Amino acid sequence: MAFGKNKGIYKTPAELRLMVRPGLVTAASLAAVREAIRPGITTLELDAIAESTIRSLGGVSNFQMVPGYRHTVCTSVNDDIVHGIPGGRMLVPGDIVSVDSGAEVGGWNGDSAITVVLDDPARPEEVAARRLLSEVTEQSMWHGIARLASARHLNEVGEAIEEFVEEHPSTRQGAVYGILTDYVGHGIGRSMHEAPPVFNYRVRQRGPEVKPGLVVAIEPMITAGTTETYTRDDEWTVASADGSMASHWEHSVAVHADGIWVLTSPDGGAAALAPLGVTPVPIP
């Protein structure tokens, strides 16, 4: 998507407070999906669970506001990376499933994604590799979020993400991880997708200044192979060109006068950020 100039990307303290609720509703929808996900359930059933959760908490699906998209979540399975459409596909043991969800409450938006790997005793090595891929992706996201707490400019986030992936022990032992470059994170607020872009890799430009009022969705998308992708015939689902497995993790994060707060995590990101030396501060 096209992103505008930096003017207007910073929210007021009052607007930041209004973004807390949609973040929590988004988090609740993914928690409900995580609890329900298992072999034998369809991706459309997961979609219904997310929608029911969002509506029960007074929100609406912001994904359904995207022209041409009718569902509450995106469900991307195995070599599908992002934008997978829920349907009759039944999950099976060993699947790696990324679920992306978003909620709007009071005209403000939340956006988050998780990856779950289903157990399969018959394929322990494949399951272990897929869980490692998910772990690397998730931790790269948290390293990007941690960098946001001290960054002067936004594009330091992508540097931290790529640096973590490059220096991960499995990478040094020969594992291959492809950080997608065609799809990036974004600002979020009145719209689900706003300026500025949030890169998951190093770029030359410094990006906008990190200061109170900045709210961004940080979302690394990583494959166990190529960064090349193609869009399936449904015109939505983005898949890896070489059939490699993929993982997608995302959180919406606010910068305010006293620190950062992960809007789409019930604890603001405290548990995950503690090992990285960062203590998130609730929005006052």
Residues contributing to the annotated binding site: 83, 100, 111, 186, 193, 219, 250
Pairing of strands 73-77, 185-187: unpaired
Residue 144's closest CA among 251, 264, 225? 251
DSSP string, 153-185: BTTHHHHHHHHHHHHSHHHHTT---EE-SSS-E
For the chain, strand residue ranges (E) read: 60-61, 73-77, 80-82, 96-105, 108-117, 178-179, 185-187, 194-198, 215-218, 221-223, 229-231, 238-240, 246-248, 251-256, 259-262
The C-alpha atoms of residue 41 and residue 106 are separated, in whole angstroms, by: 32
List the binding residues for a divalent metal cation.
100, 111, 186, 219, 250
The C-alpha atoms of residue 151 and residue 168 are separated, in whole angstroms, by: 22
Pairing of strands 194-198, 238-240: unpaired
List the binding residues for substrate.
83, 193
**Angle, helices 124-148/156-167, rounded to nearest 10 degrees:** 150
CA atoms 275, 116, 225, 222: torsion sign: negative
Identify the three-state secondary structure at position 127.
helix
Pairing of strands 259-262, 251-256: antiparallel
